[in-house]
Amino acid sequence: MGLWIYLDGKFVDEKHAKISVFDHGLLYGDGVFEGLRSYDGKIFRLYQHIQRLYKSAKAILLEIPVSMEEMAEIIKKTVKKNKLRDSYIRVVVTRGVGDLGLDPRKCPEPTIFVIASRINLYPEEYYEKGLSVVTIPTRRNLTESLNPAIKSLNYLNNILAKIEATNAGAMEGLFLNNDGYIAECTGENIFIVVENKLLTPPIFAGALDGITRDAVIQIGKEIGLDVEEKLLTRYDLYNSDECFLTGTAAEIIPVTLIDGRKIGSGKLGSLTRKIREEFHRLVQKDGTPI
């Protein structure tokens, strides 16, 4: 028996968790998702994730057929069903089954599935020695075309960026927006430390309004840093004292090389380490019990 997957109102074994080839999530990337983490039996910022899921759905005129409270219970039950205390959770809502046309009105019922498993995005050693990052040629989606604030199933922009970073021999790719400012990386927000300042691109630059990002901003203020959302260029990154990425799956991981430029000392910075330690304390106390 493998993992138990929640699929449209019931739990099924992962081998039997199947959706139709006519589902518009598969055919057109028409849907939304969230990634969450549980730590020691508590789901970190569950309701903040759910609110973002429903905002993404509203933005694409997708009505999720369960309430936020019901969704919270589904997520908790999925983790509990799989007997996991530390897990990565993926919640997906697609437009549902339709025909081969684009018209979403042909999809009468959305598909919902929830997976609770584990994830290891980067090898553990990189949390100490840091990642290498390169600027990739693909630009971040224009807000006017597909707003990066929407966590949609159409992730081809991110996948192309990841391919370009891999082909360049780097662990991560750095997105610029169409104006040449820093947006984010392929799946994480980005922060830099300059003296006593903690800086990160604003949401309107093409950055996702990350849950971990928000937690790090909170932590930065609590430990006495001047935190600012600011338009940044590659010049700012090259000359920063420290740099790190944040995300639900990645948590907090240092960056020590960008486009061949050593960042700071070229090692895990003291403030990055401090923020990561504070984050690990936060997830132990700021969570919804399963």
Q: Catalytic residue at 76?
A: no
Q: 194 CB contacts (<8 Å, ≥6 apart)?
A: 236, 239, 240, 241
Indicate if the pLDDT at residue 228 is higher than 90.
yes
Closest CA to 257 of 145, 158, 172: 172
Residues whose CB falls within 8 Å of the CB of residue 158, separated by 6 or more in sequence, listed in order: 186, 187
Please identify which of the residues 42, 76, 151, 162 carries the catalytic annotation: 151
With a cut of 90, say whether residue 39 has pLDDT above it: yes
Q: What is the CATH number of domain 126-288?
A: 3.20.10.10
pLDDT band at 244 (very low <50, low <70, confident <90, very high): very high
- Indicate if the pLDDT at residue 113 is higher than 80: yes
pTM over 0.85: yes
pLDDT tens digit sequence for 255-278: 999 999 999 999 999 999 999 999
What is the predicted pLDDT for the residue at 120?
A: 86
At residue 121, the pLDDT reads 83
Q: Is the pLDDT of residue 1 over 60?
A: no
Tell me which DSSP letter residue 15 carries: G
Domain 4-117 grouped into CATH 3.40.50.300: no
Cα 269 to Cα 22, 190, 243, 245: the distances in Å are 49, 15, 8, 13
pLDDT category of residue 119 using cuts at 50, 70 and 90: confident
Dihedral sign (CA 125, 130, 135, 139) = positive
Q: What are phi and psi of 129, to 5 degrees?
A: -90, -15
The whole-angstrom separation of Cα 130 and Cα 127 is: 6
Q: What are the residue ranges of CATH 3.20.10.10 in the chain?
A: 126-288
Mean pLDDT score, 70-75: 98
Would you state the pLDDT for residue 177? 97
CATH code 3.30.470.10 region(s) in the chain: 4-117
